[in-house]
Chain A
Amino acid sequence: MSMNVSEDVVNRIKNMETLPTMPTLLQPLLNCIRRPAEEVDMDEVVKLAEQDESIAAQCVRVANSPLFARSRAAANLREAVLSLGLRRVEDILLSICVSKLLPRERYVVDPMAFWRHSLGCALVARKLAEMIRFDDPEGVYLAGLLHDIGILVNAIAFPKEFEVALEEAVVQHLPLDTAEQTVLGFTHAESGAILAEMWRLPPHCYEAIRFHHDLSNAAAEGPLAHAALVSLADLFCRVRDMGYGYPEFLRVDFAEHPGWNLLLGRYAELERIDLVRFTFEVSDAVAEVSAVVNLIFPGASRMNGSNGESKRPN
């Protein structure tokens, strides 16, 4: 894989007509989330979120959904924080913010599958981070949520080529980045990294976006633990029904994965994880992740798969 995208591609991304704009709320929200919980003031978060009425309203709606099952409905953001806790409301706000990066009609990929994968990856990566006692699980969560923004870039800046790449991936059951490399000559990891630079995302997010499919080529770039965790979570999601929305013919041996080996020397807890059980727990999370994504995208179509046809299954 080439380490550098051609200048032409960089220019096309920088000159995109409808460049995904960073939601104004995102950066200050990130600043809150990355501070220790005891230093974050509830009023600060509430005031911040109320600057965007539609986000605040959506957050209250999600907080009141059966998923969060509270006896008394919250009338506003403040009540939602009181009943669910600040951390959880921050999570909801962040997911809503990130989901607003692009209007639904502009996707080439299925938006439900895309956000299911992103949110699933964020949750799985954070859980892994907690299990190995990594000191920045919230940073990992954010990196997971944003790791595939390059897919949005490709869908907007290179819609025709990206559609061909996606079609190729679906037909051949290939990983998306493999098909992108063949058709576009670069992957969503590289185009996402360009956007991450433009948005001045924190370095750990940049690394996760840039290297989540390409860790073995990133040795000299930094500590990379966030990228490694996101890269593992990405695979856990893809083998457990939270992939890109089409069946990939995957065979994953985590023990051989560069992300695994990168973390192994530094986090002894990694070896003690029961990977089979963890995988089952990823499956357990699918329903809840889907429910949240359905709330954020009401009325969007679901992905489906069927085995009832009598043609030879492929």
Chain B
Amino acid sequence: MTIAGSLSEAGACGADPRCDISLTKIRDLIYKVAGIYLPEEKSSFVQEKALKRMGVRDLASLADYLDLLTIKPDRDAELRELLNEITDGDTCLFRSMAQADALRNSVLEELTQVKSHMMQRKLRVWCAGCSTGEEAYTLAMVLMDEMSAKYAGWRFDLMATDMNERALAVAQEGTYGEESLRKTPAYFRERYFQDAGVRMAVKPEVKACVSFSRLNLADESKMLFMKGMNIISCCNVLILFDAESKRRALQHFYSNLLPGGYLFLGESESLYGIANQFRLVHFPQITAYFKPSLSRLPAVKP
């Protein structure tokens, strides 16, 4: 039973006769396999995507579709198709305001305090699986803005990587349509973008902060070179990885983070049962993963 289950039994489907327990099971399966939580309020969205796939596979009921996802030989391929449908086309700038807020309100203060005794006042940030650049530029704008307002003398290096060359080319161009800007607060839109015809271009000073390069997160030897990170952001990339590749990528992330560093995933992603070396940290509306610094590890009793 859900947390509010004692308040109401209406559940996710309400009185919709097409919907049944299968939909809940499909949401559960997606969480177990891909580590992505689809909240109850997104049930109709999941249903819509499942119905679309049922059309392609010529199935009449969600129960049959659940069978296809769980007991049929091509279940893995079908789940991938469904995940593609579910994650398709929902990238945009400032996609997670909660993540931006966690950086601004907690993480930067903590990281700059930890590193304040060092000569070099610089944070290293890696946007892993940056696709067409929205998340990387969001990070760059948030960091630029915070550092100029609150952390005088601090700088950052932001590396953004993806394995897809075409996506990287789009990222490097840095122009976006209204759809990509739909969640960008007016404050950032006014300060960090300029007109580029019907689209908006990321200002050159923001672009100058980000270095894009090609990297496959499954390439073990190249992963070894991404050392010394304070923040790694890898949003909605690992969900299509199988468990073993995911585990390996996360081990690299952990080694590449400096003690005290943070790994951010997508808002609805979870590492439960996949990687237990990280410490889970809650910020308002978002969770992140933390690599404890030596001073934060539990004290060993004499």
List residues of chain A with CB under 8 Å of any chain B CB: 66-69, 87-88, 91, 123-124, 126-127, 173, 235, 238-241, 247-255, 274-277, 279-285, 287-289, 292, 307-313
Q: A127 — which chain B residues lie within 8 A by C-beta?
A: 3
> Residue A123 contacts which of B6, B271, B287 (CB distance < 8 angstroms)?
B6
Q: A281 — which chain B residues lie within 8 A by C-beta?
A: 2-3
Asked if residues B145 and A312 are in contact (CB atoms below 8 Å), the reply is: yes
Q: How many residues of B contact A (CB 8 A)?
A: 42
Asked if residues A251 and B283 are in contact (CB atoms below 8 Å), the reply is: yes
Contact A69:B9 (CB < 8 A) given known A127-B3, A313-B187: yes
Residue of B4, B8, B283 contacting most chain A CB atoms (<10 Å): B4
> Residue A289 contacts which of B7, B39, B40, B271 (CB distance < 8 angstroms)?
B7
Listed A/B pairs (23) with beta-carbon separation below 8 Å: A68-B7, A68-B8, A69-B14, A88-B7, A91-B7, A123-B3, A126-B6, A238-B284, A240-B284, A247-B284, A249-B105, A249-B106, A250-B106, A251-B281, A255-B280, A275-B272, A275-B287, A292-B7, A307-B185, A309-B186, A310-B186, A312-B149, A313-B104
> Residue A254 contacts which of B186, B268, B280 (CB distance < 8 angstroms)?
B280
Q: A282 — which chain B residues lie within 8 A by C-beta?
A: 3
Asked if residues A288 and B145 are in contact (CB atoms below 8 Å), the reply is: no
Asked if residues B10 and A284 are in contact (CB atoms below 8 Å), the reply is: no
Asked if residues A88 and B6 are in contact (CB atoms below 8 Å), the reply is: yes
Q: Which 10 interchain pairs have the tightest Cβ spacing? A: A288-B4, A285-B4, A276-B270, A310-B186, A285-B3, A252-B282, A249-B105, A69-B10, A274-B272, A280-B37
List residues of chain B with CB under 8 Å of any chain A CB: 2-4, 6-10, 14-15, 31, 37, 39-41, 97, 101-102, 104-106, 110, 145, 149, 185-187, 190, 268, 270-273, 279-285, 287, 290
Q: B37 — which chain A residues lie within 8 A by C-beta?
A: 276-277, 280
Asked if residues A239 and B3 are in contact (CB atoms below 8 Å), the reply is: no
- Which label, helix, strand, loop or mixed, suits the secondary structure of the B interface? mixed
Asked if residues A288 and B187 are in contact (CB atoms below 8 Å), the reply is: no
Q: A87 — which chain B residues lie within 8 A by C-beta?
A: 6
A250 to B3, CA, bound (A): 22
Q: A248 — which chain B residues lie within 8 A by C-beta?
A: 284
A253 to B15, CA, bound (A): 39
> Residue A284 contacts which of B31, B40, B279, B290 (CB distance < 8 angstroms)?
B40
Q: A240 — which chain B residues lie within 8 A by C-beta?
A: 284-285
A162 to B110, CA, bound (A): 30
Q: How many A-B residue pairs have CB under 8 A?
A: 125
Contact A250:B282 (CB < 8 A) given known A69-B15, A276-B271, A309-B187: yes
Q: B15 — which chain A residues lie within 8 A by C-beta?
A: 69
> Residue A252 contacts which of B4, B101, B185, B281 (CB distance < 8 angstroms)?
B281
Asked if residues B187 and A312 are in contact (CB atoms below 8 Å), the reply is: yes
Q: B8 — which chain A residues lie within 8 A by C-beta?
A: 67-69, 288
A189 to B268, CA, bound (A): 34
Asked if residues B186 and A250 are in contact (CB atoms below 8 Å), the reply is: no
Asked if residues B41 and A287 are in contact (CB atoms below 8 Å), the reply is: yes
A287 to B39, CA, bound (A): 12
Q: A275 — which chain B residues lie within 8 A by C-beta?
A: 272, 280, 287
